[in-house]
Amino acid sequence: MSESPGIRTATLDVPRTAPLGRLLAAEVRWVLRRPRTLVMLGLFALIQVLIAIGVAVTDRRAGPGRGLIGAVAGNGLVLPVVAMTVALALLLPLAVAMAAADAIAGEAASGTLRGLLLAPVGRLRLVGMKAFGVLVVAVAAVLALAVVGVLAGLIVVGGAGGQLVTLSGTTLGFGEALGRVAIVAVWTVGQLAAVGAVALAVSAWTEHPLVVLAAVLGGLIVFGVLGAIPALEWLQPYLLTSGWSAGVDALRDPLPLAGMLDATGRALCYVVVGAAATVARMLRRDA
């Protein structure tokens, strides 16, 4: 293959695509340059600071009957774990759904999906590129919660000498406490990957970004309602949301892994289904 300056030449019979690394880098740059992504990450950081301040203020008139948030009082390193668990109920899935909505439906709406297919970015690669972008948003959101949570917890709330008092009453050192935060962060990203895969599939099947947000929000609410009906208890193992409280397990000692592993397995099934639906659609989608 001859190479003239800058422009590669090849025969017409060789399928060509841009280097995968370059595609992924372009996607990440696009995702992180988007104003709403940045606003969202900023809000996540802000929420942490606000919770920390709230806890520090109420702590002065501390009384009995404190809930999960109350467990943060005087025990700053609990903050990131609690925040990730609480945010997983709605805020984080919404952030991921927004990214997924922009990823395919949004690109179709702004007429740029056409450009990607004409370049061409292969249709399978396009799905990979988009999934990577959504995953980056999930990781960034969780990181914002975890990192700002640790900092706000230590600085505003104040830890017990950099230690974490578990729900079981034992005390973990700083290093181990950070480890627990990291475990919850990784686990949370896994759950968000499931949400993202399903949201991306919806995004692939529609031209309207709002449909993706509505589907994810509606889905979460329906799952919540179904999970709360005792007669439908047999449904529990199939509902993605039913394992979402397992993150708090990280605050127990010794660490019970069963709940988190269970939820991770469930998330994996959702990822597979979502990915299959996305690929099936994107292979034939008009743009």
Partner 1 sequence: MTLAVSRDLGTAAVAARVAGLRKVFGSTVAVGDADGQAGIDLDIPDGAVLGMLGPNGSGKTTLIRMLLGLTQPTAGDVELLGRPMPESAAAVLPYVGALVEGPGFHPFLSGRENLRRVAATEPLLATRAIPAAVDTALERVGLGPAADRRFRGYSLGMKQRLGLASALLLPRRLVVLDEPTNGLDPAGTRDVRGIIAELHAGGATVVVSSHLLTEVEATCTHVAVLQSGSLIAEGELRGLLDADATGLVVTTPDADLAVATLRAADIGAYRDDADEPAVVVPAGDAPEVIALLVRAGVAVQEARRRRPGLEELFARLTEGTP
Q: Which residues bind partner 1 (CB under 8 A)?
A: 3, 5-19, 22-23, 25-26, 29-30, 33-35, 110-122, 284, 286-287
Of 234 and 286, the one with the shorter C-beta distance to partner 1 is 286
Of 10 and 57, the one with the shorter C-beta distance to partner 1 is 10
Residue 187: half-sphere exposure toward Cβ, Cα within 13 Å: 28
Of 31 and 55, the one with the shorter C-beta distance to partner 1 is 31
CB of 105 to partner 1, least distance (A): 14
User: By the 8 A CB rule, do 96 and 141 touch?
Assistant: yes
Classify each residue of 229-245 as buried b or exposed e, where b means 16 or more C-beta atoms within 10 Å of its C-beta: eeeeeeeeeebbbbbbe
Q: What are the DSSP calls for 168-215, one per residue?
A: TS-EE-HHHHHHHHHHHHHHHHHHHHHHHHHHHHHHHH-S-HHHHHHH
CB of 222 to partner 1, least distance (A): 32
Which tokens is 130 given? 């988009």
The neighbour count for residue 250, using CB atoms within 10 Å, is: 29
CB of 87 to partner 1, least distance (A): 25
Determine the Cα–Cα distance for residues 271 and 102; give it in Å rounded to an integer.
19
Of 118 and 229, the one with the shorter C-beta distance to partner 1 is 118
CB of 97 to partner 1, least distance (A): 19
Of 115 and 218, the one with the shorter C-beta distance to partner 1 is 115
CB of 49 to partner 1, least distance (A): 27
Cα three-residue angle 50-56-58, rounded to 5 degrees: 100
User: Could you tell me the sign of the dihedral formed by the alpha carbons of 171, 173, 179, 184, in that order?
Assistant: positive
Of 30 and 174, the one with the shorter C-beta distance to partner 1 is 30
Of 47 and 105, the one with the shorter C-beta distance to partner 1 is 105
CB of 207 to partner 1, least distance (A): 13
Which tokens is 218 given? 């509606």
CB of 3 to partner 1, least distance (A): 8
Of 50 and 210, the one with the shorter C-beta distance to partner 1 is 210
Determine the Cα–Cα distance for residues 180 and 189; give it in Å rounded to an integer.
14
CB of 284 to partner 1, least distance (A): 7
Determine the Cα–Cα distance for residues 161 and 75; give it in Å rounded to an integer.
9
Amino acid at 132: F
The neighbour count for residue 176, using CB atoms within 10 Å, is: 15
The neighbour count for residue 89, using CB atoms within 10 Å, is: 13
